[in-house]
Chain A
Amino acid sequence: DVKVTQSSRYLVKRTGEKVFLECVQDMDHENMFWYRQDPGLGLRLIYFSYDVKMKEKGDIPEGYSVSREKKERFSLILESASTNQTSMYLCASSVSGTGGAYQETQYFGPGTRLLVL
């Protein structure tokens, strides 16, 4: 079974703090993703990575950065947390497409509920 883990289920931080959200997958997947989920706005892609040290911006990258130093680990960094970054953060991973026309299934972690005060 695919297993995607996230470092924290719940996190409370202060405005201006630097926040690290860690995600680890154990299935040797090439692709990893960070989303945030907000009521009424659905899931929005922040960043994704298709290989070690590679990253691409998603729909809402502002205020975030990412790091992928090892294949199994993908970190989301909030350089200076703000209250509008209070949200549910979901990490996902997938294998790279095997030459097919569309991407493979994304498997998600349990999520981190971040509250910024």
Chain B
Amino acid sequence: AQKITQTQPGMFVQEKEAVTLDCTYDTSDQSYGLFWYKQPSSGEMIFLIYQGSYDEQNATEGRYSLNFQKARKSANLVISASQLGDSAMYFCAMSPDLNYGGSQGNLIFGKGTKLSVKP
């Protein structure tokens, strides 16, 4: 079964330091997409970054980068220069291969990591 695992329920980081949030995935699909979302206490899920399984370069988006290691099936999120506003829940998600039975609605989420940034 396809699955996303986020092993860190909670993490602390000092303001201005970098932090890595772990995400491993389990799939036998050849093609898949990986996403990271941020959910502040207000509740909205904010899209941060995306990586396709065939993308050779790691995705970057401002202070966010995705450390994609396909052989290890990991897609860690790196936040550089943490800010107080980065304190939130972070979710890793995966879209399975639509050509092999995956559904348009079937975005698989991890349980999330709560990041707290200390001043």
- On B, residues with C-beta under 8 Å from A are 30-33, 35, 37, 42-47, 50, 52-53, 91, 95-99, 102-107, 109-112
Contacts and interface: CB of A to CB of B under 8 A. Distances in A.
Contact of A106 (B97, B103, B107, B112): B107
Nearest to B54: A101
Contact of B103 (A56, A101, A113): A56
A97 interface: yes
Given A103-B33, A110-B42, A50 B104 contact: yes
B110 A102 contact: no
A38 B114 CA distance: 15
Contacts of B91: 43
Q: Of A101, A102, A106, A107, which is in contact with the most chain B CB atoms at under 10 Å from its CB?
A: A102
Interface residues of A, number: 27
A58 interface: yes
B41 to A, nearest CB: 11
Interface of A: 9, 31, 33, 42-43, 45, 48, 50, 56, 58, 88, 90, 92, 96-97, 100-103, 105-111, 113
A33 B45 CA distance: 13
Given A42-B110, A45-B105, A105 B42 contact: no
Contact of B98 (A92, A97, A107, A110): A97
Contacts of A110: 42-44
List 3 A-B pairs, minimum CB-CB distance, nearest first.
A101-B31, A48-B105, A108-B45
